[in-house]
Amino acid sequence: MPASFSYQWDTPAYKGKTEFNTGLFTNNEFVDGSNKTTIDVINPTNGKVITSVSEAVEADVEIAVAAAEKAYATTWGLNASGAQRADLLWKLAILMERDLDELAAIEALDNGKTFNWAKGTDVSFAIAVFKYFGGWADKITGQTIETDEKKLIYTRHEPIGVVGQIIPWNFPLLMLAWKLGPALATGNTIILKPSEFTPLTALRICALVKEAGFPPGVVNILTGYGPTVGAAIATHQKIDKVAFTGSTLVGRKIMEMAAKSNLKNVTLELGGKSPTVVFDDADLDTAVAWALHGLFWNHGQACCAGSRVFVHAKIYDEFLKKLTERAKAINVGDPFGAKTDQGPQVSQTQYERIMSYIESGKSDGATVHLGGERHGTEGYFIQPTIFTDVKPDMKIVKEEIFGPVGVVIKFDDDDHIIKQANDTLYGLAAAVFSQNITRAITTAHKLQAGTVWVNCANQLHANVPFGGFKQSGIGRELGEYALHNYTNVKAVHVNVGHVL
């Protein structure tokens, strides 16, 4: 039998405990991996091992696919009504509400984000996503198409079948909900791989999936490494769709493997280098507050982070002064501290990556206006960092850093700023600040991004689509648009009187 994990919290933010299994979840049961090996899960606040989880390998993907195929053919897929799927999604959401504090504590422990943020945003948003897609489950409809009186033609939106899903470490529980919600609502069965850095909330959810009453084999969760489990999912001949959230580099590999195997359907939500454009007529305090949130939200570990802040020359000095004051006030520390704003980066690997970008900015001649150093002496904490005096070809301007590091750039020409903002291989998100609504909307329409926020930043909702242009991805998460990723459209022609 696989091991279980037990933990007790007695902190200013949360007092409570958790206990759950750390095995692979296949066919509604926790099992050891085929090789009986494990993966250590590290506490990012101190670099110490929290626990170990079972490691899946290719053989475990085969077992999970067999379970998912059986469930699709017998108890799910076209055999479970929309009403039944809706009921189970809502039951899962209600169970998550019951265990909200516990789930938030696990997320904070595993990922390093603050408990208060995990509770108020990540877990609450995940619950809302399951409820939203539960509402869609019995509304997956096609069209009746008129041709002539001798034909009845209609379309059906049928589930794809067995789908593979690979999620990142920056929003572990939330990304799980974004993936499971639409896939389950439309009747698919799932093999999901969480990040090896942050697998704990996914494993805790497994017990709730079973408690809610999902049939065995509908949801299978395998903890493992990308080059083994992720690759096995992307190349498997009996998995007909793969959805991935993560870096553009890995997204390319997923797409290539999908094409070389069975040409499986692919959805990719990838990287970003989002611009924030602050015009001279913006409400300064509003722009500063939202720009700060856009840049440092989730410790900068967000694909839509507004890490390139363009500010009009007329207000540049005052904006930078206010932004600096707000950034200095960010409280970096223990995720379970009552007043902590920013915890550690997720891992040693990510910490070193971010610090290498900071060193790159320094060596390229950019000015470290704020931060630029490690915070504390243990764990993976980094000071909120702002660079100024940057040039367009610097790595810190062009590449996704995925940490609490941003650049502030002065501009004085409206037309030129559009070119600057769009001068990136990414196109995930952008933000515009102006009290002139015509100027704001005109700019929003010219920005090459899947999401543009006007006088706000990093606002996401279960019913609003999210995804990217250019190399930021393919397809959309959330909203009705996400359902399109998980169905095949079938046209049925019925002859009602035509004789050859």
Sorted by sequence, the CB contacts under 8 Å of residue 214 that are 6+ apart come out as 28, 88, 92, 184
Sorted by sequence, the CB contacts under 8 Å of residue 235 that are 6+ apart come out as 257, 258, 260, 261
- Count the neighbouring beta carbons within 10 Å of the beta carbon of residue 136: 21
Largest CA distance in the chain: 83
Q: Is 364 helix (H, G, I), strand (E, B) or coil?
A: coil
Sorted by sequence, the CB contacts under 8 Å of residue 351 that are 6+ apart come out as 344, 345, 380, 382
Catalytic residue among 102, 107, 196, 269: 269
| Phi, psi values for residue 396, rounded to 5° | -70, -15
Pick the closest to residue 13 from 344, 337, 340 (CA basis): 337
269 in active site: yes
Cα–Cα distance between 168 and 245 in angstroms, integer? 6
**CA separation, residue 474 to residues 45, 161, 468 (Å):** 34, 20, 7
Question: Where are the strands (E) in 44-169, listed by range?
Answer: 48-54, 144-145, 151-159, 162-166
Q: Is 445 helix (H, G, I), strand (E, B) or coil?
A: helix
Sorted by sequence, the CB contacts under 8 Å of residue 445 that are 6+ apart come out as none
Which residues share a beta bridge with 29? 26
Its sign, for the CA torsion 376, 377, 381, 385, is positive
- Count the neighbouring beta carbons within 10 Å of the beta carbon of residue 82: 17
Cα end-to-end distance, the chain, whole Å: 65
- Count the neighbouring beta carbons within 10 Å of the beta carbon of residue 392: 11
Cα–Cα distance between 335 and 299 in angstroms, integer? 11
Cα–Cα distance between 91 and 211 in angstroms, integer? 9
Pairing relationship of beta strands 367-370 and 385-388 according to DSSP bridges: antiparallel
Q: Annotated active-site positions, please? A: 269
